[in-house]
Structure 1
Amino acid sequence: MKALACCCFAASAIAAGLAAETGPFQRQWVHASETSAAIYWQLDDIRREALSYVEYGATEDLTQKTPATTDPRWAHFHRLRGLETGATYHYRMVVVDPETKAETKSDLLTFSTQKKADAIRVPQEVKGPPFTLDKPGATYILTRDVTADGNAFIITGSDVTLDLDGHTVVFGNNTDEQVSGILAKNTGKATVCNGHVVQGARCKAYSTAVESRWRPQPTEIFGISTDLHLPNAYPVKFLGKAANVRVHHNLLASRVTEIESRHYPGNDLLRLDISGGNIEVSDNLFTQGCHIGIRLAGEGPNVEVHHNDIRHHQLYVNGYALACSCPGLKVHHNRVTSSGRGAHLTAEGIEFADNHLDLVGHPDLDDMPAKSRPFKTIAVELHGIKLEGDKVRNCKIMGNHCRIVQKLPDAQWRYVPATPLNIACYDPNAMNEIVGNTFVALTEHRETRHGGYGDSGEWAASVYFVGMDRGQAEPGKWSAWLHDNRFISNDLFLGAQTPVNMTVRVEKNTFVLAAEPAPTGSHAPFWRIGPALEAAVKAGGNLFEGMRP
């Protein structure tokens, strides 16, 4: 039997919570409070997904278990409630194959719950709701589920920790105001952990489960799960001046379907307005919503997003799983299996590496001009990894796998064309590099049709260029350099909105005509990319399998 050290509130202690990693039980993590625990792990293969549960008990007999998940995922999060304080618990993580139902079990592990003697107990020792947490340096522990008409918790004291101890907080149950489940307004660090935050029946738009407002102060959020459903609501929002932030080991989910505008502010599962840097978002599950998964805006050093499992749902135009507009951002080892767009890179010096994206997309709602009504339904090609704008310079896209399938229409949706690599770099000298990736573009339509904006048609292109007509680069420079990648399509290898006249280097790549689904009736290596780029591709030492230029 292996004992698993429980993480405390400090970031350094979280690393100590990792057990020996074997098989489909990687990046293990546990946080134990007084009467509850949160357990997290990931599968060993980022391409794989499974169901799961945790079996546990006060003895090695493991007489209890958590409800099994119903949606296969790469990452897994379970909460154990109703535990005895000051006890040692035994547990196993269990992975279930979604097709065969075969189970794989981890080693037998243990964690211990401990009473924190100097903690302030809520609601016994604090009036509310709203509960104002104002004692500097204090740890507050929630001892039962609570419901608030408006705000539930407001943190005003310096260096405060709020441990929900596995309990449920319902906020915004009956108010005309914009409110939060937990609102951090303090100076010094704020830590929020281990509980379920639910939006109630009635509150104003833009309410938020966990919010930090105009605080360039250290903030840590972990072990939190959310359920939002009213218009424009956010699971987690850092409104202005975010710095020194860790968001990790959470299950951030939303059922929101209504937003004010797809332009600004849109809607996100996690919004970070960065102004001071030192931001880490890791080991979270992001689920559903209706627009953007993770939005990272602003500037600051040392911003990193990694090992997240993202499955958002884009109902409105420009709804990316990862909206990356922070210069120098590092995004790696994330799994994105969304119904919607993948990653949008719009800033300088972004490194986007070793991510796995497997996407589909359908027509979405658009308000053009902004906030016009009614929303219009339009069909635009789906972007896997998109580089866009005149600020996207010196970015490196490497080691990713991005696959998009345009399915045949079903009872609920019709699906949009696939462009796993979509390049719209407007600076001729941008020097962006795309290397060592695999891009797969497939359509299930046998006959193709190329429409315009809003009715994009039925087709697929493993590389697609948009607005790449700004002229040649200076000597020795380029706008984009694509080399040593693998491009797979059953329709088009390279396509363009308009002919490309910018310096794009396409060298030493392998282009493969996919056999399944069967190639389209009009499959071709090039579509409207222009004679200059065609010549560059032919002279670039590229390999072609199944379809030659």
Structure 2
Amino acid sequence: MKKFLFGWVFFLGLLLSLSTERVHAAYDLGTKDMAIGAGVAAVEKPARAKTVNITAPGTLNQSDTEYVLMNDIVANGTAFTIQGSNITLNLNGHSIVYLNQNASQAYGVLIDGAARSNIAIVNGKITQGGGNCSGQAGVGKNCNPIYGFETFGLEIGGLEISYRANNTHGIFLHWGKSAHIHHNSLQDLGTSVTDRHQGIDAIRAGNLSGSRVHHNIVKTRQVGIRIGTNGEIYNNEVTINSQVTNSVGLSIQSGSIHHNKVHGYGVHPIGIWPDHDAKVYSNYAEVQNTKSGSEYGDTGAACLRMTWGTGDNSEIMY
């Protein structure tokens, strides 16, 4: 008999009482209708000494400069390459289309080089064009809306991002520290996942410490938001259109996950997957297995998953 499709609904929250010996916070219950304020909003940009107006794709390499886009642009390959630090790319409400022709590599915004610091990309739209491109096997780069090799203090805010390339992360920050990703919308319109163990993430900053990701709306084919140690994920709304096993809404190595909403359907949606030294509270997750997978058939769904050997020193608060 075919196994039935099933889903779990969890409400994650905690109410801690006050103690005369230790001070505790009071955590509210995560609910389906809680207001979290996720979505695109114009963000304040850092002050720079110089302003340069731009009207076409190109390389941005002047330090302490705000580059202001004056019109919509379409690029056959990469739209903008940032080569330097202390640079702002202000899309100024305009749209950039990248990868409008087939290419082996093409980015919306490429932050090129190591040890790039104090960069901001804000306030506009980044859309994959009509060309095709496939992400590097086992890595997920080459065709990303935003890619940074090594960044420190990067801010990404006020953006509407959509893409569909095979095996490609959306915002992919490879190395660095202290990313701040907020008030964006990311729409992963693709379905291809060649290696589900690699993971295909809408926001991937798994090797960065001290990152904050909040007030984003995310739709993903596998993983919604993944960050590293000492991070914080809050006030996001994530939808998982699961194509493969282990499709996760929110993932963190250590830190906190709170006041998020996760909805999932498809092969094997999982709401939240913390690693170690994590606090998970005041979230709402609703996931359901609605499709058989090629790997295990009807895999099921889970609002929270922790595997043997992980989860040390974590607190999961219902």
Fold shared, TM-score > 0.5 on shorter chain: yes
* Paired residue secondary structure (1:136): coil
164 and 243 in structure 1: CA distance in 2 versus 1, 3 angstrom threshold: same
Counterpart position of 2:262: 336
After TM superposition, give the deviation of residue 164 of structure 1 in Å: 0.2
Counterpart position of 1:232: 167
After TM superposition, give the deviation of residue 117 of structure 1 in Å: 9.9
76 and 352 in structure 1: CA distance in 2 versus 1, 3 angstrom threshold: closer
Residue 85 of structure 2 corresponds to residue 158 of structure 1? yes
Q: What pairs up with 1:36-435 in 2 under 5 angstroms? A: 46-48=31-33, 75=37, 77=39, 118-123=50-55, 128-129=56-57, 131-185=58-112, 187-206=116-135, 207-213=143-149, 215-239=150-174, 241-264=175-198, 266-275=199-208, 277-287=209-219, 289-297=220-228, 300=229, 302-324=230-252, 326=253, 328-339=254-265, 340-345=269-274, 347-366=275-294, 376=295, 378-398=297-317
The structure number with the bigger radius of gyration is 1
2: CA distance between counterparts of 1:224 and 1:388? 35
1:492-528: CA deviations, max 9, x gaps? xxxxxxxxxxxxxxxxxxxxxxxxxxxxxxxxxxxxx
Counterpart position of 2:138: none
Asked whether the 8 Å contact 1:231–1:256 carries over to 2, the reply is: yes
Which structure would you say has the larger RCO, counting Cα contacts within 8 Å and 6 or more residues apart? 2
Q: What's the TM-score, normalizing by structure 2?
A: 0.79
After TM superposition, give the deviation of residue 377 of structure 1 in Å: 6.4
* Paired residue secondary structure (1:180): coil
Structure 2 gap segments, 5+ residues each: 1-29, 136-142
1:444-492: CA deviations, max 9, x gaps? xxxxxxxxxxxxxxxxxxxxxxxxxxxxxxxxxxxxxxxxxxxxxxxxx
Asked whether the 8 Å contact 1:150–1:177 carries over to 2, the reply is: no
Q: What's the TM-score, normalizing by structure 1?
A: 0.47
After TM superposition, give the deviation of residue 79 of structure 1 in Å: 6.7
**What amino acid does structure 1 have at the position aligned with 2:32?**
R
After TM superposition, give the deviation of residue 200 of structure 1 in Å: 1.1
**What amino acid does structure 1 have at the position aligned with 2:33?**
R
Report sequence identity in percent: 22
198 and 364 in structure 1: CA distance in 2 versus 1, 3 angstrom threshold: farther
Aligned length: 274
After TM superposition, give the deviation of residue 211 of structure 1 in Å: 1.3
362 and 216 in structure 1: CA distance in 2 versus 1, 3 angstrom threshold: same
2: CA distance between counterparts of 1:142 and 1:364? 45
2: CA distance between counterparts of 1:320 and 1:76? 19
Asked whether the 8 Å contact 1:317–1:364 carries over to 2, the reply is: no
Q: What pairs up with 1:481-496 in 2 under 5 angstroms? A: none
Q: Over the residues paired in the alignment, what is the CA RMSD in angstroms?
A: 2.4
After TM superposition, give the deviation of residue 161 of structure 1 in Å: 0.2
Asked whether the 8 Å contact 1:316–1:364 carries over to 2, the reply is: no
**What amino acid does structure 2 have at the position aligned with 1:225?**
E
1:336-377: CA deviations, max 9, x gaps? 1222221123x22111111111222223534xxxxxxxxx56
78 and 292 in structure 1: CA distance in 2 versus 1, 3 angstrom threshold: closer
1: CA distance between counterparts of 2:155 and 2:112? 14
After TM superposition, give the deviation of residue 312 of structure 1 in Å: 2.1
**What amino acid does structure 2 have at the position aligned with 1:388?**
T
2: CA distance between counterparts of 1:79 and 1:168? 15
Asked whether the 8 Å contact 2:78–2:99 carries over to 1, the reply is: yes
306 and 205 in structure 1: CA distance in 2 versus 1, 3 angstrom threshold: same
* Paired residue secondary structure (1:192): strand
1:422-456: CA deviations, max 9, x gaps? xxxxxxxxxxxxxxx2xxxxxxxxxxxxxxxxxxx
* Paired residue secondary structure (1:258): coil
